[in-house]
Amino acid sequence: MTRLACETPSTGPAAALAAQLADRIPVLETRRLVLRAPRIVDVDAYAEIAASPRGRHLGCATRAAAWYDFSNMVAGWLLRGHGIWTVTARQDGALLGFVLLGFEPGDREPELGFMMTQAGEGHGYAAEAAEATRAYGFEHLNLPSLVSYIDPDNTRSIRLAGRLGALREGEITEGGETSVVFRHPRPDPAERGLQ
């Protein structure tokens, strides 16, 4: 896969500043995963997911489109205080996918998104990462609501939303693309011991 010039990591003071900003992004840890700040080299995995049949719903037909989409979600941290995390294996640091608390163009409210590499699929990692991300969004960011917008043909993600307890609310069409909307319930503070 050919890298774009804009994907070359910075050096010197610019690299130091980028590292300082990345250090401000919270790290979430689960039993098997570490959700960390995205790095410029992670765009390779993102572009690979976007170019695969399971990533077609991302709408990134080119490497440049994948770069713009990835950059937009990373910028969410600076502009909105939430964005994309890179999902890695706690045991060896292998990149397994991405999870998002975001507000992308066309979204009507904050979104919980998840996309896994081929190696990251089928092991429950997406559910584990999504649960940690959802809890962070509600408990630490006090998000008023959280939905997942899922392509109607993405049966794996639809099943995952159901396993996460999200309720199907209907469909929306934005820019000619239809998505099924799943609403994630706010956790009951009494059940989570947060009172």
> What is the band of 193 on the pLDDT scale with cuts at 50, 70, 90?
very low
pLDDT tens digit sequence for 69-127: 999 999 999 999 999 999 999 999 999 999 999 988 778 899 999 999 999 999 999 99
Q: Is the pLDDT of residue 190 over 60?
A: no
DSSP 8-state assignment for residue 122? T
Q: Which of 1, 151, 107 is nearest to 64 (CA)?
A: 1
Residues 128 and 32 sit within 8 Å (Cβ to Cβ): yes
Residue 193 backbone dihedrals phi, psi, to 5 degrees: 70, 35
Cα–Cα distance list, 41 to 7, 45, 135, 179 (Å): 7, 8, 27, 29
Tell me how far apart the alpha carbons of residues 129 and 113 are, in angstroms, rounded to a whole number: 10
- Nearest residue to 109 via CA among 1, 194, 37, 184: 184
pLDDT at 187 (0 to 100): 74
φ, ψ for residue 137, nearest 5 deg: -60, -45
pLDDT per residue as tens digits for the range 26-66:
999 999 999 999 999 999 999 888 887 766 666 667 778 88
How many whole angstroms separate alpha carbon 167 and alpha carbon 112? 13
Q: 25-192: which CATH number, 3.40.630.30, 3.20.20.100, 1.10.540.10, 3.40.50.300?
A: 3.40.630.30
Tell me the per-residue pLDDT of 119-164, one tens digit each, with 9 for 90 and over. 999 999 999 999 999 999 999 999 999 999 999 999 999 999 999 9
Residue 195 confidence (pLDDT): 38
